Amino acid sequence: MNRRIERVVVVGADAPAWMAAAALQRSLGGAGLQLRVIELPTSIQPVDAYSALPELAGFHHRIGLEEDLLFSLCNAVPIAGQRFSNWSGAAPPFIHGYDRSPPPGAGLGFTQLWIKGRQKGLRTDFENLSLGAVAAKAGRVPMTTQETELRASFGYNIDAGAYSALLRHFTMRGGVASKAATVADVETEGDRISAIILGDGERVEADLFIDASGPRAVLIGRMAGAEFESWREWLPCDRLLVASAKALKPLPAFSQISAFRQGWIGLFPLQDRTAVVAAYDSRQISDQAVLEDLPALASLPIGGEAVVSSLAQGVRRRTWVGNCVAVGESAFSLEPLDAVQLHIAHYCISQLMTLFPVETGTFPEAELYDRTIRRTAINLRDFQFTHYKLNRRFDMPLWDGCRDAAPPETLQRKLDLFAARGRIPLYDDETFQEQAWESLFIGHGLMPQSYDPRVDAVPEQDHIAQMQARLNDIVGLVGTMPLVDDFVVGTELQRQAEATAPG
């Protein structure tokens, strides 16, 4: 008779490892799971920031972490969307706002009305139909309390070191044992890990090993069949440079991502500074040259140190082998272009919880885990590659190459159908829903050639009135939202008030 999983070891560092440990402890600690974290040396530098999608709030809620702590301890800034500039020649910048998807079956949708309107000479930009984008432009934080049809939410930029420390503290307080160590060796038996040998010689056995070591992939990287599959043919950037600039005043409600000749540069506002990230192709430019160009590219003075690291984008052929499960960037990794970094860990952890093995004998859950992680990875890759594929920067080798690259079939279908009819074929395990893809495609200049014929059943007067009402509703709602600076101060004040409240 096989038995329940009793001992789980998480090997890794920084936020992903502690996210995994916190989730496991929260959900399975009560069921008697013994959890231990083998904490590898951090790969975070003081300059690093995480940029997170709104879904992370749901994760915090599930593990019981108070959101206010992010603002008081991690220099967090709420982010309503991302602004993309210089990707498409002379086209104006656009914002991908974090709108909530309308409920299924909500009818035609405003995108189709907008497409026809545009063909008829309507001037308003697509992003003006997005509550998140308009809030972002106004520097306001989307907090829709009432159940309106129009809803948006915010993600965060967070100091990576402080956030990891917060999660670590939170998890340890929950009773998780940890040890700072390195992994010297991995003992396997068949396709399973029987034990890992730490740098100090300790031999650690477990029923299940979670590899949250990021691109280092200290466990999964040694497993048979889990070779790394590179996506460089689509995603050319292989270097990341991170530095800091002064905090922006007033704080914007968006991160700013601008393309340049050899890659892109992102400005991620934090309370105490602005994280500056450049991703680029080492075949096109040297680290030194990027560093020199950085102030000009960022249009900001750069202070303090700059840290360069290499970046390998791709997915492991298998992400759960034997009793070893990869979560986060040990499973697949992508450049931090659409705030997907922590989402990768978050998604893998959610899947692991859903598919947590029933017993130690066999793991048929692995196949489904593998399949869903891979599909998610591919959908995210397609989303990020779209920025490159649809670029209109001419006579620059990196950008010409990306425009000419044949997209994966999964993305080709999306591009084709959108160009033909303004619809998005969504697959299983999509992180980004229709609205996100639409803002991406339209923002980068892919205009649909035709629209849903049902739009023509809407009389012109109604059509104009509906569009106008939508724009007014958005402006009205945005007006009630707090400014980022007030929001950040407000949560801090509230926290202090609660901390000092009697009783």
Closest distance to another protein from the beta carbon of 362 (Å): 7
Closest distance to another protein from the beta carbon of 382 (Å): 16
For residue 250, is the peptide bond before it cis, meaning its omega torsion is within 30 degrees of 0?
yes
Q: Is 427 in the site for another protein (CB under 8 A)?
A: yes
* Beta strands, E only, 261-382: 263-269, 274-280, 302-310, 314-316, 320-321, 324-326, 332-333
- How many amino acids of this chain bind another protein (CB under 8 A)? 40
Which DSSP symbol is given to 450?
-
Residues whose CB falls within 8 Å of the CB of residue 369, separated by 6 or more in sequence, listed in order: 319, 320, 325, 351, 352, 355
CA dist 190 and 201 (Å) reads: 23
* Phi/psi of residue 201, nearest 5 degrees: 95, -10
Closest distance to another protein from the beta carbon of 353 (Å): 7
Which of 101, 299, 309, 354 is close enough to bind another protein by CB under 8 A? 354
Q: For residues 283 and 371, which CB has a smaller minimum distance to another protein in the complex?
A: 371
* Single-letter code of the amino acid located at 23: A
Q: Is 31 in the site for another protein (CB under 8 A)?
A: yes
Q: Is 58 in the site for another protein (CB under 8 A)?
A: no
Collapsing DSSP to helix, strand or coil, 366 comes out as helix
Q: Which two tokens stand for residue 370?
A: 């593998």
The partner residues of 454 in beta bridges, in order of sequence, read none
Which of 148, 182, 230, 362 is close enough to bind another protein by CB under 8 A? 362
Q: How far is CA 50 from CA 24, 68, 203, 491, in A?
A: 22, 17, 33, 20
List the alpha helices (DSSP H) in 224-340.
287-298
Which of 457, 497, 499, 501 is close enough to bind another protein by CB under 8 A? 457
Which of 187, 227, 305, 367 is close enough to bind another protein by CB under 8 A? 367
Contact stretch for another protein (CB under 8 A) within 165-173, 221-229, 248-256, 413-421: 413-421
Closest distance to another protein from the beta carbon of 3 (Å): 11
For 376-419, give the DSSP string: HHHHHHHHHHHHHHT----S-HHHHHHHHSPPPHHHHHHHHHHH
Q: For residues 260 and 437, which CB has a smaller minimum distance to another protein in the complex?
A: 437
Which of 138, 143, 180, 353 is close enough to bind another protein by CB under 8 A? 353
Which of 450, 468, 494, 496 is close enough to bind another protein by CB under 8 A? 450
Q: Is 503 in the site for another protein (CB under 8 A)?
A: no
Contact stretch for another protein (CB under 8 A) within 304-312, 398-406, 437-445, 446-454: 446-454
* Phi/psi of residue 414, nearest 5 degrees: -65, -45
Q: For residues 185 and 416, which CB has a smaller minimum distance to another protein in the complex?
A: 416
Give contact residues for another protein (rule: CB under 8 A): 4-5, 27-33, 105, 353-359, 362, 364-365, 367-368, 413, 416-417, 419-421, 423, 425-428, 430, 450, 452-454, 456-457
